[in-house]
Structure 1
Amino acid sequence: MYTVFRPELADLAREVLARHRAHQAGAVSPADLEEYQLDRFVATVDYVRKHSAFYRERLAGVDSIAIKALTADALAAVPFTTKDDLRAFGFDLPSLPVSDAWVYYETTGTTGNSTPSPRADVDSINTNIAMTVQYEPLLRGLAGPQVMGVCGPSELHAHGDTFTEVCRNLGLATVKMWPHSPMVGFPRALRVLRELPVTGLFCTPGMAVALAKAAIHAGSDPRRDFRMDVLMLTGETAPPAVLAHIGELWQAEPHLALYGSQESSVLALAAPDGGLRLTPLLNHYEIVDPHTLTPAVADAGGVLHGELVATHLYQGAKPLVRYRTGDLVRLHPDTRIEVLGRVADRLTLNGVETTGHDLENLLLDGVHGYLDHRILIEQRDGCDTVVLALTPESEGASPTGLTASAQAGHAAFGIEVETRVTDVEAMPAAPGPVSWKTPRLLDRRAQRG
């Protein structure tokens, strides 16, 4: 509605929408996309150098006119931006004062001090239209009337504002409620979910599990007593086995809705055919070796494995140039991306490198009949051992598929997999910095070392 009062924003919104519609329809050729990205990359470099105190100094030696292609050689002269830069330079990094933004957010501080993440209208128009176009075939394909629950934080965080606006763009009713808020709480949230009824959730994987557990503890059955059609999950890594499990809990269709962060905004979005896809009209992407910072080399299947680097292609409150996300990813030739976790959180089990994402997926694939889980990594007699702990769906019940899980762990890493059927909430856990992000894996070797 605000565009009615600011015609220039209405014109921008129509332009952005037409661009995304054309890309979705396959009407943008690879050459056209490459040209668009180059033009917008250079525009972002010029914009931040003019408006950001940090980038004015950091990019002083960069000749944007000399950037003729977005190749590794051409970009070598453009310095990376790091999380440490965001923490150290704070309000010197944005390209607009907060008074010129429409809203102010901050990072949650999960990996350090909170950093400013203001949004201008230009930011939200670009990202929310991208989300609306991407979600449209997925959400409008659902049967019957829909009410979407937006169950994430709203204070100083984009979750509530973003997903409610996108749903409104699609003509979907929303209810915004944060179960951890003292104004809401889990009993009230469950009542609202049941009475309306809410048919879809935008939340973290951990929140979807927490709501299901709260419903069961209150004597309800998430499958029988609620009418959930779709789960749009974001904010945490969730490998396919975890995604499928959460869908089973609610008897609903689970999707990874969005990959991004407060500082990077939207980096990838859900696709109707499953998984996350890059958003190349919003960002330029690079995959680099996190040790050498040189371009990652594709494997035999054309898959790139490394740290994701992104540059915003729209010029809003705080565009970032060659931002090292600190996230380890696998990028497939079809632009499908798997987010494997933090670069700093890579694991080695008995000399074999892996990630929490892949370990979790390996151990839980084919396991059914549980509510929640935790994975503990320990060292016993000089060998790495994994404990897979599972909360059963009901007292006296036992999950299935545990033998195959243990065999898979031994085959991949030569590890013993001990399974425990227990209340995982009573077990030691990695400290979670914020309530909506559930730490599901604890490496006790690091604690003892």
Structure 2
Amino acid sequence: MTPRESLKAQPLRYAAATPTEASKYYETTGTTGQPTPTPRLAEDTIWNTVSVAEAWRPLLGADERVVILLPSDIVPVADLISGVCEYLDLAHIRAYPFATGISGWDRLESMWRTFRPTTVFVAPGVALQFTRLLAQRGELGDLSSSVDRLMLLGEVNTAPFRDRLGRWWNAQAYDASYGSTETGTLAAACPHGGQHLLPAATYFELATPDGVVPLHDRGEHREGRLVVTPLNAHARPLLRLDTGDEVSIGTDCPCGSAAPRITVHGRSADALRVRGAPLSVRAVEEVVYGVTDATGYLLEVDGEGGYARLLLERGVGAGRDGEPEERRRVQDRSEELLGLRWDDVVHVNSLPANTKSGASQKSWKRSNIREVEVSR
């Protein structure tokens, strides 16, 4: 295998094209260390765009109006969605609300009333922030009325989160795609809400306790770290890259696709232990968005892993009378799912914006976890 750490330590050693020879140049955001230079040739971009567009074609109608609430600078995510829309001949606009001085929240709301988007590509954190803002202004009902689907990407998200967001917007929320700047897109959503690997674009293996094994289409459920060999990485060929992402693989999606269905649990390096209990993005968010009305959360932990407090951002218009019962549900569900009781669960009016910026902009550990000192 090629360790991800080796690629990040010497990224240009793996490049077959220099940044000056590339048709496009990107960098990872450096959420787990230094940014990784990523040159791409036209072949890289075209193959990736077409494979994703064809995977999404069953989801997107001919008359879609697409808004892309994802960053355009340095990282490729908004470029990819724009390329897909151009390939499928769909009207679209980029409007990343954290692009200071260009697409602020007021400008975004004004554009929305004119364009009336039907499909929204957005990071989960950005979706939360925008939803909360519109709800505070009493505009969520009006602006959500044109929206049929929310396509979430850029961060791990969970079924309870998608269900919650879908209810708020009266729309279907999908886990739109999975991949990275280094590898390109590895999986895409299907109409039934599953997410399927793109085996025509990448050769997939799993790193398991028994070693690295190929995927087999025998219907069984398998788990491990995803190992990938992109088949169309011309500027930087990669052989058996260990992504570090813990995943589950199955073939039981009702859409009938022959491609394996994947569930991404998050990067193994992002795992956190508190009093011996392992915490992951997916597990924590199953609790937060499964049993509360919170629009965000923050974990406060000490450096030794012996203390953990959970901060929950109050939902807009939520009364405080039900908060004691909500905290009890959080503790009970956390004990059941995580094997942990929090030292405290606290409701707050708002959380820092960096818990929401999202879309390859943040890592879970850096934005949703805060280290604190605790007096013993």
TM-score interval w.r.t. the shorter chain?
A: 0.7 to 0.9
Pairing 1:422–2:341 present: no
Shift of 1:444: 4.3
Change over 3 Å in CA distance of 1:241–1:431 after alignment to 2: closer
The farther-off stretch of 430-439 and 103-112 is 430-439
Pairing 1:364–2:282 present: no
Structure 1 contact 242–364 (Cα < 8 Å) conserved: yes
Pairing 1:165–2:83 present: yes
Q: Which one of 257, 263, 266 corresponds to residue 338 of structure 1? A: 263
Hey, what does 2:69 align to over in structure 1? Answer: 151
Pairing 1:95–2:16 present: yes
CA separation in 2, counterparts of 1:123 and 1:359? 36
Structure 2 contact 141–169 (Cα < 8 Å) conserved: yes
Per-residue CA deviations over 1:198-252 (Å, capped at 9, x if unaligned) read: 22211211111121223234x1332333322211111100011112222223222
Q: Which one of 154, 159, 162 corresponds to residue 240 of structure 1? A: 159
DSSP-derived class of the 2:39 partner: coil
1:324 is aligned with what amino acid?
Answer: D
1:389 is aligned with what amino acid?
Answer: L
1:8-407 aligned at under 5 Å gives the runs: 80-140=1-61, 145-181=63-99, 182-217=101-136, 219-226=137-144, 227-289=146-208, 294-295=212-213, 302-334=220-252, 335-368=260-293, 370=294, 372-376=295-299, 378=301, 387=310, 389-394=312-317, 396=319, 403-407=328-332
CA separation in 1, counterparts of 2:210 and 2:161? 32
Per-residue CA deviations over 1:298-318 (Å, capped at 9, x if unaligned) read: 9xx932222111001125211
Percent same amino acid among aligned pairs?
A: 26
Shift of 1:395: 5.7
Change over 3 Å in CA distance of 1:448–1:91 after alignment to 2: farther
CA separation in 1, counterparts of 2:151 and 2:358? 22
DSSP-derived class of the 2:164 partner: helix
Which protein has the bigger strand share? 2
Shift of 1:151: 1.4
1:283 is aligned with what amino acid?
Answer: T
DSSP-derived class of the 2:79 partner: helix
What TM-score do the two structures reach when normalised by structure 2?
Answer: 0.83
Change over 3 Å in CA distance of 1:435–1:338 after alignment to 2: closer
DSSP-derived class of the 1:410 partner: helix
DSSP-derived class of the 2:204 partner: strand
Structure 1 contact 331–337 (Cα < 8 Å) conserved: yes
Shift of 1:322: 0.8
CA separation in 1, counterparts of 2:199 and 2:316? 41
Structure 1 contact 103–118 (Cα < 8 Å) conserved: yes
CA separation in 1, counterparts of 2:275 and 2:164? 28
Structure 1 contact 107–114 (Cα < 8 Å) conserved: yes
2:28 is aligned with what amino acid?
Answer: T
CA separation in 2, counterparts of 1:446 and 1:167? 48
Shift of 1:163: 0.4
Change over 3 Å in CA distance of 1:269–1:244 after alignment to 2: same
Per-residue CA deviations over 1:44-83 (Å, capped at 9, x if unaligned) read: xxxxxxxxxxxxxxxxxxxxxxxxxxxxxxxxxxxx2223
CA separation in 2, counterparts of 1:281 and 1:436? 28
CA separation in 1, counterparts of 2:190 and 2:278? 30
Q: Which one of 347, 353, 362 corresponds to residue 437 of structure 1? A: 362
1:192 is aligned with what amino acid?
Answer: M
CA separation in 2, counterparts of 1:183 and 1:364? 31
Shift of 1:354: 4.8
Structure with max Cα Rg:
1
Query: Size of the alignment, in residue pairs?
Result: 358
CA separation in 2, counterparts of 1:129 and 1:297? 24
Q: Which runs of 5+ in 1 are unaligned?
A: 1-79
Shift of 1:411: 2.7
Hey, what does 1:14 align to over in structure 2? Answer: none
CA separation in 1, counterparts of 2:65 and 2:231? 33
Change over 3 Å in CA distance of 1:253–1:94 after alignment to 2: same
CA separation in 1, counterparts of 2:267 and 2:336? 25
Change over 3 Å in CA distance of 1:435–1:413 after alignment to 2: closer
Which protein has the bigger helix share? 1
Q: Which runs of 5+ in 2 are unaligned?
A: 253-259
CA separation in 2, counterparts of 1:199 and 1:130? 22
